Amino acid sequence: MFTGIVLGVGKVIKIVKQKNFFCITIKLNNNLLSNLRIGDSISNNGCCLTVTSIYDQNVTFDIIEETLNTTNLKYLRIDSLINIERALKINDELGGHLVSGHVSGTVVVSKLIHKSKNMELWLQLKDVHLIKYIFEKGFICINGVSLTINRVVNNFFSVFLIPATIKNTNFIVVKEKDILNIEIDHMTQIIVDTVNKKIRK
């Protein structure tokens, strides 16, 4: 489990591509490496991946077909920046919201509105059926970052990014038409699905 509080970014330094399978190596800062072991889970752009090797600051992950099909990790290239969060530990502060690292789908950046103290990011859902789980002031995880939904219009929604979020994540390089991972809040999904089942009976 994760919280959606990204601790920093890693840089992709190597990608080995095979049919329906990637092996990626990411260079991490020392603060992200503390007590890291092979087999640990790390959130990469909101996607839970397992550490397969560690050499100095370089950490390797395998990405299978299902993950490639569902997430934006298939678009990675050398020097891509990835939002990194270590797994939640008992007694850790829950600063965002509970996140599983199981990506629900992707969104397309449709507009960036720069303001004096923040940035409003407008996103278009690629999987339209997920819109029923998107509510104003509800939680959502975007590229591994816990955010609050601001507005919802048809299959578009917006979030606000404060300067600290932009500075410490790969949102610092985001641009229009970029594809980002999202994870729907699971409590919201359970409530919506339960209510819909009751209505259909």
| Domain containing residue 171: CATH number | 2.40.30.20
Q: What is the three-class DSSP state of 187?
A: helix
Q: Are residues 118 and 174 in the same domain?
A: yes
Q: What is the pLDDT of residue 94?
A: 72
* Structural domain span for residue 56: 8-86
Q: Are residues 72 and 139 in the same domain?
A: no
Give the number of domains in the chain.
2
Q: What is the pLDDT of residue 72?
A: 97
Domain assignment of residue 92, yes or no: no
- What is the DSSP-derived secondary structure letter of residue 199? H
Q: Are residues 133 and 79 in the same domain?
A: no
Task: Residue 120: name the closest of 177, 159, 163 by CA.
Answer: 159
Q: Which of 24, 52, 86 is the last residue of a domain?
A: 86
Q: Are residues 110 and 181 in the same domain?
A: yes
Q: Are residues 60 and 129 in the same domain?
A: no
Token pair of 18, please? 């095979």
Domain assignment of residue 135, yes or no: yes
Domain assignment of residue 95, yes or no: no
For residues 79 and 168, give the distance between their C-alpha atoms in angstroms, rounded to a whole number. Answer: 16
Q: Are residues 54 and 109 in the same domain?
A: no
For the stretch 23-55, pLDDT in tens is 999 999 999 999 999 999 999 999 999 999 999
Q: Which of 86, 117, 151 is the last residue of a domain?
A: 86
Q: Are residues 129 and 77 in the same domain?
A: no
pLDDT tops 80 at residue 93: no
Q: Are residues 187 and 109 in the same domain?
A: yes
The answer to whether 86 and 30 have CB atoms below 8 angstroms apart is no
Domain assignment of residue 99, yes or no: no
Within 10 Å of residue 107's Cβ, how many Cβ atoms?
27
For the stretch 102-156, pLDDT in tens is 999 999 999 999 988 899 999 999 888 999 999 999 999 999 999 999 999 999 9
Q: Are residues 117 and 186 in the same domain?
A: yes
Domain assignment of residue 96, yes or no: no
Question: CB-based contacts of 122: which residues, under 8 Å, 6+ apart?
Answer: 109, 110, 111, 112, 113, 156, 157, 158
Q: Are residues 193 and 115 in the same domain?
A: yes
